[in-house]
């Protein structure tokens, strides 16, 4: 009896330590997210003032997205070998370097190649911290509690996007009040404070390091994870193919909005999008039947079909010469709501499909696919807009969403606790 009591007390202490570490890691990730959104706005505003075209400004972020692909692939393996705490601290430290590169640089160094290099480091930093924080959710939720896992994932994902939207405002405010370089150094100090606080207050490991983890295992042999990652590529390409370059450029040049008006619209949209993600379990459960109402493969399919209607409707409205400002602002609302629910369900399923000892690798692989989708969407947004305008970008978006829905037909139709045991052999 005494040994059982000791074991129970030891398990309780470990759970409290994991929760403490997760809370500290999440706070650090929130700081990184706020700074990441602010940095993007600062770079956009600053180079717009220098006379760069929207396509030239978009090119500054290409290496940011490429770095995300590599980071998620390699970072998942590093996290498995070293533990999530190490990759979290690495991400924060790299972000400080990236911000100082811009904060201390003379004007002669602030050219495209130099800024692209700093943004590549920011991309590495952002994805290391995101992967570490999102993987750590699995540590504080019991394996059998799918309902709690869904709530925690939705709250974390939603808060991240809401803070990124607030970061857009912060970047514009700092640029106005203190200027580009001083703003970068202020944000470097914010990240440094988060790094010092988390490194001094965390106890033990954030996750269990596995020194035997092999890089080849980054490529999942879990069929559900692979299908979900492929669907994720098309889902995020569907957003960025019209949102990154096409929409801002259309609002500048065709509708006649100022940069500040466009930035405010995007910031409000991202904050609202994050709020919907945090509430996604409540919305989705009303339409999901089964134990606890947690989503499964069928949920992803009907959400994708609903999302595809939104860009198609905006494209039709523009073709029919409805006031473009009204068509876009009204269309962005349902697009944001349904996209947020899609994203939240995806983020839940990747953890639900993953075993606890493989979660970092699966999450890294999955977010590598996410970065591939963002990169493809970013590049295609500029190319398709130059070819045939925003309407072509919107029809491409609808096509990408339908592709994500078709791929989702291959996802398990049963609850995630059963689906996570669906495996295929490496040779299959």
Note the pLDDT of residue 424: 38
pLDDT top residue among 255 and 363 = 255
Give the largest Cα separation in the chain, rounded: 77
Max avg pLDDT among 33-42, 52-61, 92-101, 272-281? 92-101
Domain membership of residue 369 (yes or no) is yes
Please tell me which residue, 216 or 172, carries the higher pLDDT value: 172
**pLDDT for the residue 427:** 29
What pLDDT, in 10s, does the model give residues 275-298? 787 776 666 654 545 445 567 778
pLDDT of 264 reads: 79
Identify the sign of the CA torsion 134, 139, 140, 141.
positive
Is the confidence at residue 33, as pLDDT, over 70? yes
According to the model, what pLDDT value does residue 94 have?
94
Residue 310 has pLDDT above 80, yes or no: yes
- What is the mean pLDDT of the segment spanning 347-362? 71
pLDDT, residue 78, reads 75
Question: Residue 299 — pLDDT band, cuts 50, 70, 90?
Answer: confident
**294 falls within a domain:** yes
How confident is the model at residue 99, as a pLDDT? 94
- Gap between the Cα atoms of 424 and 420, Å rounded: 11
* pLDDT on residue 312: 96
List the structure tokens of 317: 């409205």
CA distances from 108 to 42, 49, 58, 100, 104 (A): 18, 16, 21, 16, 12
Average pLDDT, integer, range 182-209:
84
Residue 424 belongs to some domain of the structure = no
User: For 50-179, where are the alpha helices, taking DSSP H only?
Assistant: 54-59, 62-82, 84-103, 112-140, 146-177
Could you report the per-residue pLDDT of 18-30, keeping only the tens digit for each?
A: 677 777 878 888 8
The pLDDT of residue 83 is above 80: no
| 158 phi and psi angles, rounded to 5 deg | -65, -40
- Nearest residue to 231 (alpha-carbon basis) of 147, 350, 135: 350
pLDDT band at residue 190, thresholds of 50, 70 and 90?
Answer: very high
DSSP strands (E only) in 209-360: none
Candidates 272, 286, 244; CA nearest to 375 is 244
In a domain, 428, yes or no: no
Per the prediction, the chain carries an average pLDDT of: 78
Residue 73 CB-half CA count within 13 A: 13
Q: What percent of the chain has pLDDT over 90?
A: 21
362 occurs within a structural domain: yes
Helix (H) or strand (E) holding 289: none
Closest to 281 measured CA to CA, from 155, 162, 151, 161: 151
**Total count of domains within the chain:** 1
CATH code where residue 407 lies: 1.20.1250.20
The set of residues, in sequence order, having a beta carbon less than 8 Å from that of 160 and lying 6+ positions away, is 29, 30, 33, 130, 274
- Strand intervals (E) in 215-266: none
Residue 425 lies in a domain: no
Domain membership of residue 44 as a residue range:
2-419
Query: pLDDT tens across 231-249, in order?
Result: 999 999 999 998 877 888 8
CA–CA separation, 22 vs 28, rounded Å? 10
User: Is residue 46 predicted with pLDDT exceeding 70?
Assistant: yes
The one-character DSSP state at 254 is: I
Q: Does 240 map to a domain?
A: yes
Q: Evaluate whether residue 65 is within a structural domain.
A: yes
């Amino acid at each position: 009896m005494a040994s059982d009591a000791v074991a129970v007390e030891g398990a309780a202490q470990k759970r409290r330590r994991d929760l403490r570490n997760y809370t500290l890691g999440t706070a650090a990730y929130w700081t990184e997210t706020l700074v990441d959104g602010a940095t993007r706005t600062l770079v956009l505003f600053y180079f717009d003032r220098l006379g760069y075209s929207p396509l030239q400004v978009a090119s500054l972020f290409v290496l940011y997205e490429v770095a995300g692909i590599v980071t998620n692939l390699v970072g998942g393996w590093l996290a498995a070998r070293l533990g999530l705490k190490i990759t979290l601290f690495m991400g924060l430290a790299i972000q400080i370097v990236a911000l100082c590169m811009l904060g201390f640089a003379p004007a002669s160094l602030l050219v495209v190649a130099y800024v692209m290099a700093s943004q590549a480091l920011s991309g590495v930093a952002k994805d290391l911290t995101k992967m570490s924080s999102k993987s750590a959710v699995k540590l504080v939720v019991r394996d059998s509690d799918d309902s709690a896992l869904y709530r925690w994932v939705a709250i974390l994902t939603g808060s991240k996007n809401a803070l990124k939207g607030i970061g857009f405002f912060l970047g514009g405010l700092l640029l106005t009040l203190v200027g580009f370089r001083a703003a970068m150094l202020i944000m470097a100090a914010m990240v440094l404070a988060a790094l010092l606080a988390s490194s001094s207050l965390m106890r033990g490991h954030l996750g269990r390091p596995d020194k035997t983890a092999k890089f080849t295992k980054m490529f999942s042999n879990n069929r559900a994870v692979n299908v979900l990652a492929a669907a994720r590529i098309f889902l995020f390409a569907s957003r960025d193919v019209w949102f990154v370059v096409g929409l801002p450029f259309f609002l500048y040049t065709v509708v006649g909005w100022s940069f500040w008006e466009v930035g405010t619209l995007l910031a409000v949209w991202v904050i609202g999008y994050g709020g919907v993600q945090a509430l996604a379990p409540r919305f989705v459960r009303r339409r999901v039947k089964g134990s606890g109402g947690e989503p499964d493969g069928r949920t992803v399919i009907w959400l994708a079909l609903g999302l595809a209607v939104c860009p198609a409707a905006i494209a039709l409205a523009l073709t029919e010469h409805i006031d473009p400002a009204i068509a876009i602002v009204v269309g962005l609302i349902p697009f944001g709501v349904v996209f947020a629910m899609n994203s939240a369900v995806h983020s839940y399923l990747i953890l639900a499909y993953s075993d606890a000892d493989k979660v970092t690798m699966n999450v890294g692989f999955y977010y590598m696919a996410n970065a591939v989708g963002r990169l493809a969407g970013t590049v295609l947004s500029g190319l398709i807009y130059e070819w045939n305008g925003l309407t072509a970008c919107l029809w491409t978006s609808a096509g990408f969403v339908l592709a994500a829905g078709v791929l989702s037909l291959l996802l398990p139709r049963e609850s995630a606790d059963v689906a996570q045991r669906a495996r295929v052999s490496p040779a299959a």
